[in-house]
Amino acid sequence: MKKEITKTAFVYLEQDNKILLLQESGRFIRGRWSFPGGHLEPGESFVEGATREALEESGYQIKTLEEIYHNIIPRIEYSGNPAEGLIEMVIFRGEIIGGQMQIDNEALDLKWFDKASALALPHRFKFLKEFIQNN
């Protein structure tokens, strides 16, 4: 039986040597930090989804600059949910081109962190610490 693959897109935003991170409110990931992003809508490309999710979750209009991560991971690594399934995840480096920071009503918090502070946080994804160190 073929496993269902859900497509997701996230945006890595860096400004003034700080990284924008969102604190999650989801059942299995509550309190953990990640980049703005989420599930693609039907028919959306990864770029379109990343752009929409960044606006919804951060208030910023962004331009995607380059794809910096692309992988397929088990759902449990994505959301902590033990349900079957796979997640195709793409992360783009983005640039803010408009808007202003505004927290999404589904998030607990949204903040800019220097790298040292960002590395000390509890992360939504296991690979985020290494990702932040190397970008």
Specify the CATH number for the domain of residue 11: 3.90.79.10
β-partners of residue 114 are: 18
Domain count across the chain: 1
Q: Which residues contact 59 (CB under 8 A, 6 or more apart)?
A: 99, 100, 101, 102, 103
Domain span at residue 59?
5-134
Whether the pTM exceeds 0.85: the reply is yes
pLDDT at 59 over 60: yes
Which pLDDT value is given to residue 2? 58
**Cβ proximity of 12 and 36 under 8 Å:** no
Burial class (CB in 10 A: 0-12, 13-18, 19+), 129: middle
- pLDDT (tens digit per residue) in 72-115: 998 888 777 777 789 999 999 999 999 999 998 889 999 999 99
pLDDT over 70 percentage in the chain? 98
Please give the average per-residue pLDDT across 114-135, as a whole number: 90
83 or 37, higher pLDDT: 37
Judged by phi (left if over 0) then psi (alpha if -120 to 50, else beta), residue 85 lies in left
Q: Which residues contact 134 (CB under 8 A, 6 or more apart)?
A: none
Residue 80 vs residues 27, 41, 56, 75, 77: alpha-carbon distances, Å: 8, 21, 22, 7, 6
Rounded Cα–Cα distance for residues 108 and 58 (Å): 12
- Give me the phi and psi of 34, to 5 degrees please: -155, 180
Residue closest to 95 by CA, chosen among 38, 44, 133, 50: 50
Which pLDDT value is given to residue 84? 79
Which pLDDT value is given to residue 18? 97
Which pLDDT value is given to residue 44? 97
